[in-house]
Structure 1
Amino acid sequence: MYHPYFRGKQFELITIREMAALLAEKNFVPVIEPVRESLGGLKKTLNSVCAAGGRAIVIVNPYHGDHQQDGASITNLLQEGFIGSDNLAAGILLRSDMTVEEVTVCYDHHADHHPVLVHAGFTAPKWLAAELEDSMASLTNVFVEDRAKLLYRKHFDQSTRVLVRDGFKRQRNADYLPMEEFSDLHVTYGELGMAGFGDFLIVGDVYSEGGGPAYAVAIHLTFIDPEKDDVMYVYHFVSTTKDTPTDPAGKFAQALAKLIAKLDSGTSHLLETEAIKEFRDLHTKGHFPGLGYVKKLSMKHHIETLADYLS
């Protein structure tokens, strides 16, 4: 079903932990690409997923972050901390610099953890499909849509296939339009021959370490519009002040005021999720919890919105 793709930064991992029960209940399977050298937060998160009876896919050869050169410590974590667990799958990220032989070696090395192939730029699908022909019926393939087109995906049509689309058009906070289309994949994935779908939530596939001062603060919230064939859209509530790197709390208050006004208009189509209740509470208290926390609430709202739609 739904496969949200997370890069394993602090607030992404906290989101998964806090949503573990709902993810498990709805059979949603997060894909986690660890990007931090310390794996303590990841281990805590995977324990939460397993305790809730959920499932997750953990990328063992990340393309981004601190494990880019060597993912051995991630493999060790799975093999030592989660041996015999059917809840966790080893995700093998297939990029343009990998050979068929490297993929199959990695696949065999992680055979104890139900390996899943995550296609994101690999260039030899025909030969890989031939190599894995005997395993294809039991294999799950996850395709990042803009790097694994239709013809590419056809080579794996005897497997369980999941399509991940980046619906979030990342740009400077000051430049966002008030609203834009996010995706229709939650409606159309079956028509595309897929068993499931995914996205990069309200973060997008563009990886950055974050950092610099925020000249504008934006709150990104998704909604499904029943009047437009259940297409998902995203609101960008952007602070009025956009020309100074100071006062993030004041800018958050401006963006939050726009969000509350839209909610109270009765025309927003925003689901009154637990995350929305927390935004309302922050507005009432006049409290700024930090930008990472705000991103976490937006991710939780996105998951809650899809859980409601797919229930």
Structure 2
Amino acid sequence: MYFPYFRGKQFELITIRENAQRLADVGFIPIIEPVRENLAGLDRALAAICAADGQAVVVVNPMYGSLRNDAEPISSLLEEKYLLRSNVSAGVLLTAEMDLSDAIACYEVHERYNPSFLHAGFAEARALANFLQEKGGRRGQIFVDEGDKLYQRHFSRLPRVLIKDGFKRQKRNTDYPFVEKFSELHLTYALDGYTGFGDFLTVGDDYAESGGPAYSVAIHLTFIDPRYDNVMFVYHFKSLRSDTPDDPAGKFAEALQGMMATVNGPNSLVFESEALAEFRSLHARGHFPGLGYVKKLSMQHHIETLAHYFTTHKR
């Protein structure tokens, strides 16, 4: 089972909303960490998930963004719109700054939403495991990066999901190689005793409120390579120019031309997704839709690629 982790900016939420049926059909469960004070986009994304009879996990105590120090609006949205919806569950993010009392307090406030714990630097594993044992049930545990195996040992009898960042973010788009390994977690998660896996798609775990000026435009496109035991790789198609932040449309056209040269080749391994079809349409029309839209297509292609893999390979 795949758990893509989204930080809830505009185009991340649009990606979820527009792919809600696709996610539901293959049993993919998005984890959404709200980072914007305006929750209208989150509400629309969750409504689409519910309409598709899918599932989502909403982080109720985000680490980043406008709601980091006041997450009450998230709890209010869940109570007003999704209290009776089993499709939407709460995620309690356990960071290094939290102690056991913080974790339990957040859990108990959201207990009606079938909460999961997302482990991201929390230290009091034994005490938390004892608390969960007293509560009973088999609540899923989500580990953001593998971390300490001794820590995870305390939760070995519970369903466990591993979220691992496969996207090696660079400070400058010009620094990306043409192609590099992304992940093999979709192949190995079950071998390591996990019931599911996730990643941060083609955005990565590094968080920034907004991007800086684009001296170079890069389009990130994942693919699965059967020549290497179905490991996932990622292409970074970059613009030819990177000297000034001017002409993002022209630079997008340069990066897109590089993509077309690769995906139209006779030995292309890139899945012919709906997102790729849209890239082809943009190329044919010579249209620049904006960098946020490009990011959305990249994320959608990643979802489609994994959906195709799991529908054509036994889990």
TM-score calculated relative to the size of structure 2: 0.97
| Unaligned runs of at least 5 residues, structure 2 | none
Confirm or deny: 8 A CA contact 1:164 1:199 kept in the other structure.
yes
Which residue does 2:131 correspond to in 1? Answer: 131
**Partners in 2 of 1:89 and 1:132 — Cα distance?**
17
**Partners in 1 of 2:281 and 2:310 — Cα distance?**
27
**Partners in 2 of 1:84 and 1:134 — Cα distance?**
25
Which residue does 1:16 correspond to in 2? Answer: 16
Which residue does 1:49 correspond to in 2? Answer: 49
- Give secondary structure in 1 for the equivalent of 2:208: coil
**Partners in 2 of 1:3 and 1:276 — Cα distance?**
22
One-letter amino acid matched to 1:239: S
RMSD: 0.9
One-letter amino acid matched to 1:170: R
Residues 29-82 of structure 1, C-alpha deviations (whole Å, 9 max, x = no match): 000000000011111111000000000000000000000101111011101111
**Partners in 2 of 1:236 and 1:137 — Cα distance?**
44
Residues 90-110 of structure 1, C-alpha deviations (whole Å, 9 max, x = no match): 000000011111111111111
Alignment map for 1:100-119 (pairs within 5 Å): 100-119=100-119
- Give secondary structure in 1 for the equivalent of 2:241: coil
Residues 103-161 of structure 1, C-alpha deviations (whole Å, 9 max, x = no match): 11111111110001011111111111112113454201110115x33221111111111
**Partners in 2 of 1:277 and 1:60 — Cα distance?**
36
Which residue does 2:152 correspond to in 1? Answer: 153
- Give secondary structure in 1 for the equivalent of 2:306: helix
Deviation at 1:280, TM superposition (A): 0.4
One-letter amino acid matched to 2:18: E
Confirm or deny: 8 A CA contact 1:137 1:158 kept in the other structure.
no
One-letter amino acid matched to 1:152: Y
Confirm or deny: 8 A CA contact 1:221 1:301 kept in the other structure.
yes
Which residue does 1:64 correspond to in 2? Answer: 64
One-letter amino acid matched to 1:286: G
Alignment map for 1:1-311 (pairs within 5 Å): 1-135=1-135, 137-146=137-146, 148-171=147-170, 172-311=172-311
**Partners in 2 of 1:143 and 1:300 — Cα distance?**
24
Confirm or deny: 8 A CA contact 1:8 1:34 kept in the other structure.
yes
**Partners in 2 of 1:21 and 1:66 — Cα distance?**
29
| Unaligned runs of at least 5 residues, structure 1 | none
**Partners in 2 of 1:239 and 1:130 — Cα distance?**
53
One-letter amino acid matched to 1:225: D
**Partners in 2 of 1:259 and 1:167 — Cα distance?**
21
Deviation at 1:211, TM superposition (A): 3.3
**Partners in 2 of 1:135 and 1:52 — Cα distance?**
31
- Give secondary structure in 1 for the equivalent of 2:5: strand
Confirm or deny: 8 A CA contact 1:136 1:156 kept in the other structure.
no
Confirm or deny: 8 A CA contact 1:136 1:158 kept in the other structure.
no
One-letter amino acid matched to 2:144: V
Question: Which deviates further from its counterpart, 47-56 or 78-87?
Answer: 78-87
- Give secondary structure in 2 for the equivalent of 1:182: strand
- Give secondary structure in 1 for the equivalent of 2:143: strand
**Partners in 2 of 1:213 and 1:2 — Cα distance?**
33
- Give secondary structure in 2 for the equivalent of 1:162: strand
Deviation at 1:268, TM superposition (A): 2.6
Question: Which deviates further from its counterpart, 72-81 or 11-20?
Answer: 72-81
Q: How many residues align?
A: 310
Deviation at 1:12, TM superposition (A): 0.1
Residues 169-228 of structure 1, C-alpha deviations (whole Å, 9 max, x = no match): 001111100000000000000011000000000000000112321000000000000110
- Give secondary structure in 2 for the equivalent of 1:142: strand
- Give secondary structure in 2 for the equivalent of 1:65: coil
Question: Which deviates further from its counterpart, 260-269 or 130-139?
Answer: 130-139
- Give secondary structure in 2 for the equivalent of 1:66: coil
Question: Which deviates further from its counterpart, 153-162 or 274-283?
Answer: 153-162
**Partners in 2 of 1:104 and 1:138 — Cα distance?**
16
